[in-house]
Structure 1
Amino acid sequence: MISSSVNAAQSAGSGKHSVPDTGRLVELLAQVAEADRAAFHLLYQATSRKLYGVVLRIMKRQSLAEEVLQEVYLRIWNRADSFEASKASPITWMMTIARNRALDEVRRRTPELDDNSEIEMIADGSASSPHGRAEVSQALGRLQTCIDGVGGQQAQMVKLAYLDGLSREALATRFSQPVGTVKVWLHRSLKQIRACMAEVLS
């Protein structure tokens, strides 16, 4: 049921989409918590474009975003009974699940970034408050300075890998280097960037 709707969510991509009112989503989640598949289908139709946008901003690749979106809705199905309307709105609760699952996948694919909160913040890019946007902008400036300090192809490679989402294989082809060399370059570059970030923030 989920996979048959992913393409619809993707094709809607940049179009405006109004999410149903909070009360209706609360009702649907309550029904999903009781394993109501019809309610789950309606919930998916109502919110999938919004959650797909959240995931795509983080994953940056449509094929990966589609896979993660399906997993997000499986989590929503399994966790619907834990939703508490007194603590968060339904769409905020679901967007949090989507964001966390996408970031988990980014970490899994790039484990060397697990402790790099600055890059994670920029990869997310979904801050909605002025304060959040200011933090992202400041982090981007700090990170850009440190990446530029790496210099040469290594700096380009870091940007393509962690800000544009290119795989190690794609980088190897682009830079005419073995995959093993790409991994070594990224590892060394990240160590230098972390040291630079620590100095800037100290």
Structure 2
Amino acid sequence: MSNLPKIDSGQLHIWLAAVANKDSAAFRSLYETTSPKLFGFALRILNKRELAEEVLQESFVNIWNNAASYQSSLAAPMTWMTTIVRNRAFDLLRKLDHDVEIDADHFDMEVVNALESGDPTPIESLQLSEDAKALARCFSRLEGLHRQAMALAFYHDLSHSEVAEQMKLPMGTVKTWIRRGLDKLRTCLSKLETA
């Protein structure tokens, strides 16, 4: 991945805004610029070239259809697209093998450790914004089950009832954990802003 050119986040913002208006030339530029890194990320999760290609294709369809929902205040463009690829890859793993168990805590810790490390890593190539780094740090400080409930709700777009079903917990517990987790994230982020 180190031989890939550095991606200009500002240009990605411009292209995503154009893609939101169904500009096919901007979409082509976005694809040509980001697909090598996104493919590498998918390949790292799936370990099979044909599966990574399938996920990449589905992810770009998703990007085309949902570019209007991208919010720059929540994540850098590459982070947003990487999350789409990650979710598609995990969905495909689950579809291929219903018994597969993805260790979200381990994966999240890899991301956090890479963000806090001074060494160049594949995650650094994703060009996470300062806000995303702060959010990842604060997210890692949540209790494991609270973090898992929030990840299922926000990264996997599951409803509270779906999260409760997946975690085999009462829905009230899940709602409380998510609400408390959001409060803790707000507090943590505000402390980082004032530091």
Gaps of 5+ in 2: 117-195
Q: Secondary structure at the match of 1:127?
A: helix
2:42 counterpart residue number: 55
Shift of 1:117: 4.1
2:26 counterpart residue number: 39
Contact 1:58 1:102 survives alignment (8 Å): yes
Measure the CA separation in 2 of the matches of 1:121 and 1:25.
29
Gaps of 5+ in 1: 1-13, 134-202
Q: Secondary structure at the match of 2:99?
A: helix
Measure the CA separation in 2 of the matches of 1:98 and 1:49.
12
User: Are positions 1:27 and 2:40 aligned together?
Assistant: no
Deviation per CA, 1:40-72: give whole Å up to 9, x if none: 000001100110011001110001111111001
The 4+ residue runs of structure 1 with deviation greater than 3 A are none
1:69 counterpart residue number: 56
Counterpart residue identity of residue 18, structure 1: P
Q: How many residue pairs are counted as aligned between the two chains? A: 117
1:101 counterpart residue number: 88
Shift of 1:126: 8.9
Contact 1:51 1:69 survives alignment (8 Å): yes
TM-score normalised to structure 1 length: 0.52
Where do 1:1-202 residues align within 5 Å? 14=1, 16-113=3-100, 116-118=101-103, 127-130=110-113
Shift of 1:16: 1.8
Distance 1:46 1:19, change over 3 A: farther
- CA RMSD for the aligned pairs? 2.5
TM-score normalised to structure 2 length: 0.54
